[in-house]
Amino acid sequence: MIKVAHVCTSSFSHKILVDKLTLLKQRGYDIHLVSSKEGYNEKLMQNYDFKLHFIHMNRKIHVLDDVVSIFHMVRLFRKEKYQIVHTHTAKAGIIGRVAGRLAGVPVVIHTSHGLPFYEGQSKLKYYTYRFLEKIGAWFCDAIASQNREDMKKIEQYAPRQRVYYEGNGVDLSKLDDRNKHISCEQITALKNRLGIPNDQKVILVGARFEPVKDHFFLLEAFPLGAFPGT
């Protein structure tokens, strides 16, 4: 059985990984999750059978904290003798890849869940984060991207690296099936519970409120008639 460590910065990311990792577990992989304990959802994880390891990781750039995190991660990787280390999210992506190489893990992979540098940032942040991603690329065997647009940027800062499209791993069939069973009565009841007039249209945006999610792109579309009847 191939033993794999999936590394993310905080436990908040468990919810976006567990369904995909369940598929890998069903195919015979021994899956471990490594993250800081921040955001740990015990109720969520009761539904999944993964071994958990908690290692503190500072979300911000902090040299001392980052070196300590790498030290603890190297020790864990050597103890567990992982055959693959697969990192996720920006901070864990740097720490986990460096630790994986230092620990002598045979295969180190990173998945970008959205690049940490983007238009609208200050030049200092943009080029700092880009430089760190370039360093991270030196410590892995392949990089995967959740969207095709970022692949071009990854190929630019890591021209010698293998880059793959991974996608989001969302099971659209489940969403389609759920949509078929939503009734008008359920929608009306939900609007009443939230105090929304029944004749008012509602658009749900499932994203954090920060510039990289570009909520203004949606708002700017309304005057252009992109959503008739709204």
Contact 202, 191 (CB under 8 A): yes
Model pTM? 0.81
The range of the structural domain enclosing residue 20 comes to: 3-165
Quick one: average pLDDT of 206-215? 74
Same-domain status, 136 and 200: no
CATH number of the domain bearing residue 145: 3.40.50.2000
Bridge partners of residue 53, in order along the sequence: 34
| More confident of the two residues 205 and 10 | 10
Residue 171 domain-assigned? no
Same-domain status, 82 and 186: no
- The total of structural domains in the chain comes to 2
Same-domain status, 107 and 203: no
Residue 230 domain-assigned? no
Same-domain status, 127 and 214: no
State residue 226's pLDDT score. 60
Cα separation of the two ends of the chain: 54
**Residue partners of 146: CB distance under 8 A and separation at least 6:** 111, 112, 113, 114, 166, 167, 168
pLDDT, one tens digit per residue, over 99-131 is 999 999 999 999 999 899 988 889 999 999 999
Contact 150, 90 (CB under 8 A): no
Which of 165, 189, 211 is a domain's end point?
165
Same-domain status, 205 and 113: no
Same-domain status, 153 and 188: no
Residue 80 domain-assigned? yes
Same-domain status, 201 and 153: no
Quick one: average pLDDT of 65-69? 97
- Per-residue tokens: 143: 């990089």
Task: Tell me the pairing of strands 51-54 and 142-145.
Answer: unpaired
